[in-house]
Chain A
Amino acid sequence: MDEPALIDSSSTAAPTTQTAASSADTSPEGDTITDWFGDPQLQSLDPRFVMTERVAGWIFVAVVGAVAFLVLLGWILANWPPGWGMGLVILLLVALLAGFGWYVHAWPPIAYRWCRYRASEEGLEIYRGVFWRSVVNVPRFRIQHTDVRQGPLQRRYGLSKLVVHTAGTEHAMIELDGLCREEALALRDLLRAQEEEDGII
């Protein structure tokens, strides 16, 4: 419940800032794991995911921009009259913010294209990653419990995040963000059918 989409998008934004620019190419290359993503049986996330992520990103950029603006204003007023160096710093900050704004706009559709999943009686498979591509398989009878979470923005767009908990150590928690609410609930019901059995023996 305490998952504001705002913070979520900022954390994905941090590690890959400018590099995102070059990766508009989403056509499957010749290698094997990438080919899996083209499997027609796989399901995509809800298309509204793109909009939600963008809005979250914009809000984040706006907040950061506002704070930066206030700090700058204070700085300029304290050192009146402004010099050339100051102008350069301001220009740099504006450029940075613009780049960041462009990134939060451009990244969500790419992330959306590179996220697929398949759920069945057997379990959940998640295909994900623009650069670091991974396929995760969680057998259904290994699932300890599942959460369906919703932040304020997601509530507005009718989206949810499915969180699957296992007894594993590295994959103790597997998240699938950007499902429509009904789909997330249906997945939860599908995956929990066997809950009385023990996950760890």
Chain B
Amino acid sequence: MASSDAGTDSPGSRQAGEPPSDRPVRVQVLPESHSLHPSSILFFFIARIRSYLIPAIVAAFAAAAGSSFLAFLLGLGFLVAIVVDGVRLYTLRYHIAGGELVVRQGILFRQHRTIPLVRIQNIDLLQNPLHRLLGVAEVRVETASGSDPEATLRVLSLAEVDRLKHRIHDESPEGIGSETIPSMIPPDLPREQELHRLDPRDLITLGLISNRGAVLVAVAAGAFYEFELHERLDWGMAERVVRAFWPANLAVAVVVSFLLGMGVLLILRILGVFWCLLRFYGYQLTTDDENLRVHAGMFTKVSATIPRPHVQFISIHRSVLARWFSRASIRIETAGGGARANEDAQSTISRRWFLPIVRESAVGPLMGALRQGLAWNEDALAWHSVHPHAIRRLVRKSVILSMAFSCIGLVFWWPFGIFAGPILLPGLVWHAKRYAASLRYARSDTGIAFRSGVLLEKTSVTFFDKIQVVDVLQTPFDRRWNMAQLRIDTAAAGPAEHRIHAQLLEAEFARDEFIAISHLILS
């Protein structure tokens, strides 16, 4: 990293207010605005082609059937979109002045967006193989509002990214401080401390214990039906094959099914391993004084920087398999851009799978690195279990549920459907008991920890300076059992998929905790 700038040397210089020597430089910098890299149009073009792919296939089918109107319409739409993109691209100018990032674009509809640097939650950098070939990268800037990045600079040359980084650093008020824009260059280790690294062996373990393969198959199946390929399959032949191989012998049938099942399972796991290798190859988590930085990716490289004070919520997930292997994964949440519908390479790595796989022994030290000063020792926390009658309540609920299943069963399959309830009951009761036992709540002097989940066990922690709203809720049923629910709301945007809803607590305890938390968030 080129640390030629005077500002990069220490964070201490920022606290001394505005050094007068900076003034003339800033005035010089102010009028200078920058545009995107010339190759940007190529990436816009590719993005457009990608979004037009499915309509284009439909139009091609229509054209093959003799109607080329749709294809014409689509071509026209594509052309207009490209022109609009081109205009937007060549009019886009950005600069940093007065502690703000200013992005202007458009001719007819002008947009002038100002993003105060202190409000920036995180800046991510993405580089796919084509980006790398051209020596450029895509920059995404997120603040706490909304789901989409507030500014996407697609694309900048790496030199320009570096310049932007230094400019942000020079202009920053005390808020985000040193280098918030990541660099594609591997981290500068003497200056940045490495927190975590994944070698291929870890990634293979991750692929084996995650269910990613199944997700990939589901996506493939979705695409299969999307393009209506299933109608082109020769089901008759498949049936003949099955008939030929389906033997009269039951034992052989069992063996064949078992082998088939194992084969499918194996393929799913192997797919998962491939996915993990692609996404997390070369994974490295580092930190400088105040930012967390992740680098990962085999072909599409992602680099994300999250200012450590912006971490709202940390969640440790442990699936059944992960517990067997004594591993965990850690997700973090910031206030920015969590509610995005589709998960792409960038959001995958920077939030959901922030630390995709960690040895149990490393969880404690890593938690301390994610949140400064956090001494994380799960066993030492003063965990509080649910109300002693919680299990009884949940079991009663599952009995009622199984009765409901019996009734539904009767409606659909008279009269044998009545057995649906009794068949499901043991499973429901087992789950109810385990769930009640899994619920744990703890308060320390820095924050709140909460654990829940039977198969996928989630342990989440948030801090008093991050809690937005706290409330305690009592339903009519809670009232009957003298229980209450304590809920903690933060600005965390959602990818950890865990909410602090400590249900089934003793009412007095929930009340006392509510009062205590209300006081603690004020101080």
Partner of A32, one of B310, B468, B511, B518: B511
Q: Report B306 CB to chain A, min CB distance, Å.
A: 13
B465 touches A137 (CB 8 A): no
A137 touches B469 (CB 8 A): yes
| Alpha-carbon separation in the docked complex, A37 to B203 (Å) | 55
Residues of B within 8 A of A139 (CB): 518, 521-522
- Residue picked from B473, B491, B493, most chain A C-beta under 10 Å: B491
A137 touches B470 (CB 8 A): yes
In this assembly, does A76 line the interface, its C-beta being within 8 Å of a C-beta of chain B?
no
B479 touches A142 (CB 8 A): no
A14-58, CB < 8 A from B: 29, 31-34, 36
Which DSSP category, helix, strand, loop or mixed, fits chain B's interface? mixed
A186-201, CB < 8 A from B: 198-201
> When A167-B144, A169-B490 are in contact, do A174 and B469 touch as well, CB less than 8 Å?
yes
Partner of B494, one of A142, A166, A169: A169
Residues of A within 8 A of B472 (CB): 33, 134-135
In this assembly, does A87 line the interface, its C-beta being within 8 Å of a C-beta of chain B?
no
B118's nearest neighbour on chain A, judged by CB, is A198
B470's nearest neighbour on chain A, judged by CB, is A137
A170 touches B489 (CB 8 A): yes
B515's nearest neighbour on chain A, judged by CB, is A137
A171 touches B309 (CB 8 A): no
Q: What is the total number of residues of chain A having a CB less than 8 Å from a CB of chain B?
A: 31
B144 touches A133 (CB 8 A): no
| Alpha-carbon separation in the docked complex, A123 to B507 (Å) | 23
In this assembly, does A138 line the interface, its C-beta being within 8 Å of a C-beta of chain B?
yes
In this assembly, does A131 line the interface, its C-beta being within 8 Å of a C-beta of chain B?
yes
B490 touches A168 (CB 8 A): yes
| Alpha-carbon separation in the docked complex, A139 to B465 (Å) | 11
Residues of A within 8 A of B301 (CB): none
Residues of A within 8 A of B508 (CB): 32
Q: Report B438 CB to chain A, min CB distance, Å.
A: 22
In this assembly, does B435 line the interface, its C-beta being within 8 Å of a C-beta of chain A?
no
> When A169-B491, A170-B489, A200-B491 are in contact, do A137 and B473 touch as well, CB less than 8 Å?
no
Task: Enumerate 28 A-B pairs (CB-CB under 8 Å) in ascending A order.
Answer: A31-B474, A31-B507, A32-B507, A33-B507, A34-B474, A122-B522, A125-B518, A129-B474, A131-B475, A131-B476, A132-B475, A132-B476, A134-B471, A135-B471, A136-B469, A137-B514, A142-B468, A166-B469, A167-B468, A168-B491, A169-B490, A169-B492, A170-B469, A171-B468, A174-B469, A199-B491, A200-B312, A201-B466
B491 touches A167 (CB 8 A): yes
A169 touches B474 (CB 8 A): no
A134's nearest neighbour on chain B, judged by CB, is B473
A138 touches B469 (CB 8 A): yes
Residues of A within 8 A of B494 (CB): 169
Given A129-B474, A136-B470, 8 extra CB contacts under 8 A: A34-B474, A132-B473, A134-B473, A136-B469, A169-B489, A170-B469, A170-B489, A200-B335
| Alpha-carbon separation in the docked complex, A13 to B522 (Å) | 36
Residues of B within 8 A of A168 (CB): 468-469, 489-491
Residues of B within 8 A of A32 (CB): 482, 484, 507-508, 511
B511 touches A200 (CB 8 A): no
B466-523, CB < 8 A from A: 466, 468-476, 479, 482, 484, 487, 489-494, 499, 507-508, 510-511, 514, 518, 521-522
| Alpha-carbon separation in the docked complex, A171 to B479 (Å) | 23
Residues of B within 8 A of A171 (CB): 468-469, 471, 489
Please encode chain A, from 73 to 92, with 1 for each CB lying within 8 Å of some chain B CB and 0 for all others: 00000000000000000000
| Alpha-carbon separation in the docked complex, A123 to B519 (Å) | 11
B144's nearest neighbour on chain A, judged by CB, is A200
A135 touches B482 (CB 8 A): no
Q: Report A111 CB to chain B, min CB distance, Å.
A: 16
Residues of B within 8 A of A123 (CB): 522
